[in-house]
Amino acid sequence: MVGKYIPKQGDIILVNFDPSLGHEQKDQRPALVVSANLLSKTSPFTWVVPISNGKWNYPTHVVLDDRTKTSGQLFVEQLMTIDYRVRPLKYLEKIPNDILDTVLNTIHELTKKVNE
């Protein structure tokens, strides 16, 4: 749906990531909305983490369990900003709060100030 659905934090959505470059996720796939609802309400943007069924074992990946219909791993290191008003999206389901917390904590670890 283009232009009507407003993504909310914790929503798992279906989104088309094309066009993509390099090792970025591509094609239509699920993603988790991680930005605060304020971003989607006040702009055409939302932050998402792509979900893939790849079997990589990176410390930045969070595995979905049987509490969601969606399966795979959240590739937190591939956090992206998308323009949800022009990119077709479909709501799939809500993620359990503890998994959302793990993803948000991983983002925090990846964005902490480094004193070098």
- What is d(CA 50, CA 24) in angstroms, rounded to the nearest whole number? 9
Residue type, 2: V
Q: How many CB atoms lie within 10 A of CB 33?
A: 28
Residue 66: predicted pLDDT: 96
Phi and psi at residue 69, to the nearest 5°:
-70, -30
- What is d(CA 49, CA 42) in angstroms, rounded to the nearest whole number? 20
Cis peptide before 59, with omega less than 30 degrees from 0? Answer: no
Tell me the pLDDT tens digit for each residue of 18-61.
766 554 565 789 999 999 999 999 999 999 999 998 878 899 99
Asked if the model's pLDDT at residue 113 lies above 80, the reply is: yes
Residue 1: predicted pLDDT: 44
More confident residue, 52 or 2: 52
How far is residue 102 from each of residues 22, 85, 88, measured CA to CA in Å?
Answer: 27, 28, 27
Domains (range + CATH), the chain = 11-111 (2.30.30.110)
Average pLDDT, the chain: 89
User: Is 45 strand, coil or helix?
Assistant: strand
Phi and psi at residue 90, to the nearest 5°:
-140, 125
- 5 — pLDDT class (breaks 50, 70, 90): confident
Which residue, among 80, 15, 75, 18, has the nearest Cα to 45 in the 3D structure? 80
